A and B are shown apart, each in its own frame.
Chain A
Amino acid sequence: MKSIAELDEIRKKTQEQISLRSNTDGIRVIVGMATCGIAAGARPVMKAFMEEISKRNLQNVTVSMTGCVGVCRLEPVVEIMEKDGSRVTYVKMTAEKAARVVAEHIVNGKVCIDMTIGAAEEKK
């Protein structure tokens, strides 16, 4: 049985960790979560990002969601916003691809060109 007491334990533990963190603005991961995105499987993609980021204990990376960006046929769409405001749009995402984006793009700063919206449009 889950209890609120457990939650209090978690609070104590995370409070210690938070004090170690810096407060600089970091990378933002934005998942398209409108009807089109959800139907195409955006929820597992977002979950994969959250899990992968927590697994690697990455600080200053936030995951959030947005509405329809207008390219429903390429959903699930994920945008990575860098610290300097530049953004990369990944299309037709899956949970596996999310893990790759975290490893290559967010950790190592190398954009996964083959999964971007630019690459998808060229193929047409």
Chain B
Amino acid sequence: MRDLSLHILDIVQNSIQANASAVTVHLGENSEIKRLVLEIVDNGVGMDNDFLIKVEDPFITSRTTRKIGLGIPLLKESALKCEGKFDIYSKKNIGTKVFAAFSINHIDRLPIGDISDTMITIISANPDIRFILLLDSVKGEFKLDTEEINLTLNGVNINEFAVLQWLKEYIDEGVKNIFGGVLNEVDS
């Protein structure tokens, strides 16, 4: 994957596949240890311990079209190659949390990429799932909750193009406000 936003898009697909009704994507800066932390939390079907142990293996997957599953191994690789961390927690019938940390100033850290494109892609294709995007750094916090957006929209579908366009600009502004100057790929 070229950037973090594509990894997020990929991992969220797992949540959708697991019948989650709410997915939280949290991207935050830990300024003390200069790490960028990514957490994707869902309330899907989860995994039992047997599967959880094997899930980081690329030759393990729940899909039936092929015998390999690369989403999680690729994210793990991206985190570990920049002296980061990777972890995955899951409880059957409760949900799953994927955790990855990246050393911000490491030369191999992936850029965050187009977070807003990823969000509007998953929101438009899954209007019935509640998505929460949280961004934070020393500069502050940004939160987008599609449930709140739906309340404001009052019956208008969230995947109307004008709404998605607004969401994209809203998220772009959030990324700029929170990560501008904090991550060197984001202009302040």
Binding site for B on A (CB under 8 A): 1-2, 4, 6-8, 10-11, 13-15, 18, 33-36, 38-39, 43-44, 46-47, 50-51, 53-54, 63-65, 67-70, 72
Contacts and interface: CB of A to CB of B under 8 A. Distances in A.
B74 to A, nearest CB: 7
A54 B166 contact: no
A7 B9 contact: no
Contacts of A43: 6, 9, 117-118, 121
Contacts, number: 88
B interface SS class: helix
A31 B12 CA distance: 15
Given A33-B13, A35-B71, A50-B161, A15 B156 contact: yes
Given A7-B153, A11-B152, A11-B153, A35 B70 contact: yes
Given A69-B65, A72-B66, A1 B173 contact: yes
Contacts of A69: 65
Interface of B: 1, 6, 9-10, 13, 17, 63, 65-66, 69-71, 74, 117-118, 120-121, 124-125, 149, 152-156, 160-164, 166, 169-170, 173
